[in-house]
Each structure stands twice: as C-alpha cells, then as structure tokens.
C-alpha cells in the first residue's frame, strides 16, 4: 500500500462523512492532551499503580521532556510473569518509537494503526515536544463528536429560527418567502417547495404540517411550471398561528374551475404526463392538505390560488 492514494471522481463520490472528517480533523483535535508520563527510572510497580489510578492502558516514558519509550499493559504483564515488577521502566519499555504529528490529519494516524500493531502513538508538536497521546479510541470518540457537532449545528439553526417569533415584538409579525417559478423549468420543479418545507420545519412547524404545506405548495409550483403562459410566483407568509401560501400567474386562466377540481381531470400534454405529472390530482391534493383553499381565475388577470393552514388546528 502506498501513501499516495489517487481517487477517481467515482470513488470520491463514495466517500462518507466519517471519511471526510478523517481528512478535516487534525490529530491535535482528537488526541488526549493531558498525558500521564513515566520516567525511565521509575519501577514497573510504580508504573502499574499510575496505570490503575488513571484508568489508562499505557503511557509514554519521558526524560527531560523528550519521549524515550512507551509502556503498555503488555509490558507490565511481561514484568509480572518474570516476577520482576520491581525493575525499572527502562528495562521493559519499548524503544522502537512510532510517533504522530499534532498538525497532521487524523487519516495519517489511521494509516499507521492499520499497518503497525501499536496501540497508542505519542503525539509531538513541530519542535518534537510531547503534547498528547493518541489511541484508536480517541479517534473514534473524535469522529463521533464531530458528527454530533454536524447534527447540533442543524439543531441550533432550528432552535434559533423557531424562536424568531418570540424574539420580535410587534402587533403582527410575519415572515414572507417569495419564489419566482419559471414556465417549463422541470429541472428545478419542486425546489422552491422543498425550501418552503424546510423553512417551516426550522421555524418549528410539526412534521405533519410541514409535509401537508409542502405537498400543497408543490402541486401549486408544478401547476405554474406546466399550465401558465409565463410562469408565476409563490408567496408564503408565515405567522405564529397561520401559514398563507399563494400561487399567482398572469394567464391563461382556468376556464372551468369546477371541472379542474374533478379528480382525474387534466389538460396536461403527453410530454407533461411522461414526466409524472398531469394526473388531474393537483387541485384535489391541495384541497385535501390545507384548511382553506380559494381560486380566483380569469382570462384577463390569470389565476390566484390561496392556501391557508391554521396551526392551532394541527397541534400534535
């Protein structure tokens, strides 16, 4: 195995977040910084006491600040088996030292652990001074903590957003999101709705409310993409107790609204159907998801669709 690993784009796509973290995190971020050390003149019995007292499985041996060896529980067992637990640490320590650099990435240490049978690496700074000790357990903990931080970041965003309304005093506070929807832009179809759903979730809406609003506004978004002359706009107004979603366009207008509300009725083309839409369920779906739905449509001014969700009705 060589140190230089070249990744193809295909392989790079398969890298997991944990593997990424192996490259992002430095050894200094995951090592145990508060290191217990032994002196070479100490007896093995004293080393045994320190190991038991500190609940560790080994420690570096230092002399004048420099690492000269390392002692593990296996060395202690050897000393006990020999019946020479009173001998010096320097008689039993391992001196073929493999160390790690504090500024290196965690993945460098992983490579060492994969190739050598060592259980712990003394970590040195750029001047060769001992600054920590690294075990596989430290790496696992470091990676897990980093993953937890990723998760907490999202939780924090959510927490901040969900208290937005409480933090601001006014007679009527609301947050308005607007999206321009482009005619025939199937590639981005549903993107705005997903942003809206995510925003509602972050603002503290329940999963069910976010999902229902998401479905309603997604259908409205696809209608703007499929059925309008020039696309249109989505406007969502979020208030503490109410979400108002609006879709409006400038034509061609719905000629028979009652017919458009009939399940299965559709004016969509074969092209649209081949993309999975035009089932004639759009408005029917919207009506079943929201508390109030109103359509105003004319040939002259296009279609306005209002969808309202009252949050108090949907308490979990």
Binding site for other proteins (CB under 8 A): 13-17, 186-187, 189-191, 193-194, 197, 207, 211, 214-215, 218-219, 222, 263, 275-282, 284-285, 288
Dihedral of CA atoms 189, 191, 196, 199 in degrees, nearest 10, equals 170
| CB contact at 8 A, 123 and 130 | yes
Task: Write down the least CB distance from residue 187 to other proteins, Å.
Answer: 6
Output the smallest distance, CB 225 to other proteins, in A.
Answer: 10
- Comparing CB distances to other proteins, the nearer of 113 and 277 is 277
* Shortest reach from residue 7's CB to other proteins, in Å: 13
Q: Which residue has the tokens 């969700």?
A: 309
> Which residue's entry shows tokens 């970041």?
153
Copy the structure tokens of residue 162: 């969900």
Q: 165 or 277: whose CB is closer to other proteins?
A: 277
Between 15 and 33, whose beta carbon lies closer to other proteins?
15
Shortest distance, position 289 Cβ to other proteins, whole Å: 9
Determine the Cα–Cα distance for residues 301 and 229; give it in Å rounded to an integer.
12
Task: Kindly state the helix (H) or strand (E) to which residue 246 belongs, with its residue range.
Answer: strand 242-249
Q: What are phi and psi of 231, to 5 degrees?
A: 75, -160
User: Least Å distance between CB 261 and other proteins?
Assistant: 11
**Of residues 14 and 55, the one with the C-beta less far from other proteins:** 14
Determine the length of the chain: 316
Give SS3 for 54.
Answer: helix
- Which residues partner with 72 through β-bridges? 58
Smallest distance, other proteins to C-beta of residue 206, A: 12
Closest to other proteins by CB, 13 or 83: 13
Which residue has 């001196």 as its token pair?
95
Of the pair 43, 285, the CB lying nearest other proteins is at 285
Min separation Cβ 199 and other proteins, Å: 13
CA separation (Å) from 130 to 105, 121, 133, 301?
A: 17, 11, 8, 76
Nearest to 28 by CA among 98, 121, 104: 104
Task: Name which of 61 and 225 has its Cβ closer to other proteins.
Answer: 225
């Amino acid at each position: 195995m060589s140190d230089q690993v070249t990744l193809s784009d295909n392989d790079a796509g398969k890298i997991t977040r944990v593997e990424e973290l192996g490259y992002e995190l430095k050894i200094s971020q995951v090592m145990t910084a508060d290191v217990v050390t032994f002196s070479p003149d100490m007896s093995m019995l004293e080393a045994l006491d320190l190991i038991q007292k500190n609940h560790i499985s080994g420690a570096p041996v230092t002399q004048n600040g420099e690492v000269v060896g390392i002692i593990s529980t296996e060395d202690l067992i050897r000393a006990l088996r020999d019946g020479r637990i009173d001998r010096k640490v320097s008689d039993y320590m391992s001196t073929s030292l493999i160390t790690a650099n504090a500024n290196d990435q965690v993945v460098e240490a992983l490579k060492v652990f994969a190739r050598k049978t060592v259980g712990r690496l003394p970590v040195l700074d750029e001047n060769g001074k001992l600054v920590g000790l690294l075990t596989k357990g430290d790496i696992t903990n470091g990676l897990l903590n980093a993953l937890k931080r990723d998760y907490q970041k999202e939780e924090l965003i959510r927490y901040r957003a969900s208290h937005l309304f409480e933090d601001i005093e006014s007679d009527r506070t609301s947050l308005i999101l607007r999206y321009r929807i482009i005619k025939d832009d199937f590639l981005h179809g549903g993107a705005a709705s997903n942003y809206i759903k995510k925003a509602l979730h972050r603002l503290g809406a329940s999963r069910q409310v976010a999902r229902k609003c998401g479905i309603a506004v997604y259908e409205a978004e696809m209608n703007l993409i499929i059925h309008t002359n020039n696309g249109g706009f989505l406007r969502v107004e979020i208030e503490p107790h109410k979400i108002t979603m609006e879709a409006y366009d400038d034509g061609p207008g719905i000629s028979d609204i009652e017919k458009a509300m009939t399940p299965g009725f559709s004016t969509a083309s074969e092209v649209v159907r081949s993309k999975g839409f035009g089932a004639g369920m759009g408005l029917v779906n919207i009506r079943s998801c929201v508390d109030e739905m109103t359509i105003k449509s004319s040939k002259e001014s296009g279609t306005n669709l209002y969808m309202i969700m009252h949050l108090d009705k949907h308490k979990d």
